[in-house]
A = this chain, B = another copy of it.
Amino acid sequence: MDHPPSAIIDPAEDALNRLGALVAPDLVACNRLIVERMQSPVALIPQLAAHIVAAGGKRLRPLLTLACARLCGYGLAQGMRHVLLAASVEFIHTATLLHDDVVDESVQRRGLASANAIFGNKASVLVGDFLFARAFQLMVEDGSVEVLAVLSRAAATVAEGEVLQLMTQNDLATTEARYLDVIGGKTASLFTAACEVGALVADDPPLGREAARTALARYGTCLGMAFQLVDDALDYGADPRHLGKTVGDDFREGKITLPVLVAYAAGDAAERRFWERTVGEGAQEEGDLETALTAIRRHNGIELTVERALFYATEAKSALAGFPAEPMADALRAIAEYTVHRLR
């Protein structure tokens, strides 16, 4: 028996749906383009790509490109540039997810078994490479060297952030500043570019081209920071049914995130020894995750992480202050606000 839609409104999902509704035809065109351009005569490519691209991701990043373009006065009536670039952004993101799966040996992604678990390491790396190259082909089709500069720089910065994350893995001496560098690189830089190119496709955006570009880039950066901070908090506190993310993934991988840094810094000698064994040396036993969760709660690790996320979300909203009040700007502000409320 089918159930009616849930009566409980998730404010984060609601904000996303409202934004999606404002760019509905653009998003339909983008999804169609994504499916079309992940085709290849090499059968394993669309097969594996479909597993991750079509697995019902939130399409947050391409949505941002589409919405920022529309905010700047560029929509389907003006052309397909924003659609091309939104698909390109999603391909870069998908390539990163595929390579992340290899990297993190994660068994779950978006609530489904990861592509890597089904198809193997090799296929994930190579199909990721294909999608990455395809992303650049889409940008070339767009034809703007300015846009190519923004997105190729973002792609390099994402990789730098991922490598930096690898270097800080298991390293409890990581500073908060370095952690912020990691998430700024691996997550926020693609959010930045996704929003920035929205301004670049438009002929005559409100505020003028350069100011619109700077404001949207700033919005994207801060939104990305908030998003990743909440993601890292969720890893120590979410209901896995809600987001398809298993609690404790980061802990098991020895990933250094803010909740851990907070608990480690504030912990007594016994707690510090606990973190050094479990995260520092990666020697984990049955029951360690529960101990970690208790320690993080004791030192308000989740609250302090969410507080930082709220700071960035507020910054993101204020970056849009110059844009005239209109539904698109409001919807983008709502996304910033509710990103933080993903944590219930």
A residues at B contact (CB < 8 Å) = 40-45, 95-96, 99, 102-103, 121-123, 125-127, 129-130, 132-134, 136-137, 139-140, 143, 145, 148-149, 152-153, 155-156, 158-160, 162-164, 166-167
Contact = CB atoms under 8 A, between A and B. Distances in A.
Contact of A148 (B102, B148, B156, B166): B148
A40 B156 CA distance: 10
A92 B137 CA distance: 15
Nearest to A160: B42
A99 B136 contact: no
A121 B158 CA distance: 18
A130 B127 CA distance: 16
A166 B103 contact: no
> What's the dominant secondary structure at chain A's contact region?
helix
Given A99-B125, A125-B102, A143-B145, A136 B155 contact: yes
Nearest to A131: B159
Contact of A133 (B40, B126, B152, B164): B152
Contacts of A166: 44, 122-123, 126
A149 B140 CA distance: 6
Contacts of A121: 102-103, 121
Query: By CB atoms of chain B within 10 A, which of A130, A136, A153 has the most?
Result: A136
A132 B130 contact: no
Contacts of A126: 99, 103, 159, 162-163, 166
A326 to B, nearest CB: 33
- Assembly of this chain: how many copies? 2
26 contacts: A40-B163, A42-B164, A44-B166, A102-B121, A102-B122, A102-B125, A121-B121, A122-B166, A123-B163, A126-B159, A127-B163, A129-B158, A130-B160, A133-B152, A133-B156, A133-B158, A134-B156, A136-B136, A137-B152, A137-B153, A139-B152, A140-B145, A140-B148, A140-B149, A143-B145, A148-B148
Contacts of A160: 40-42, 45, 130
Contacts of A130: 156, 159-160, 163
A158 B125 CA distance: 13
Nearest to A98: B125
A44 B166 CA distance: 9
Given A102-B102, A123-B163, A129-B162, 20 more contacts: A40-B160, A43-B167, A99-B129, A103-B121, A103-B125, A122-B166, A127-B159, A129-B155, A129-B158, A130-B156, A130-B160, A132-B155, A133-B159, A134-B156, A136-B136, A139-B148, A139-B152, A140-B149, A140-B152, A143-B145
> A-B pairs with the 3 shortest C-beta distances?
A130-B159, A133-B155, A133-B156
Given A140-B149, A145-B145, A129 B167 contact: no
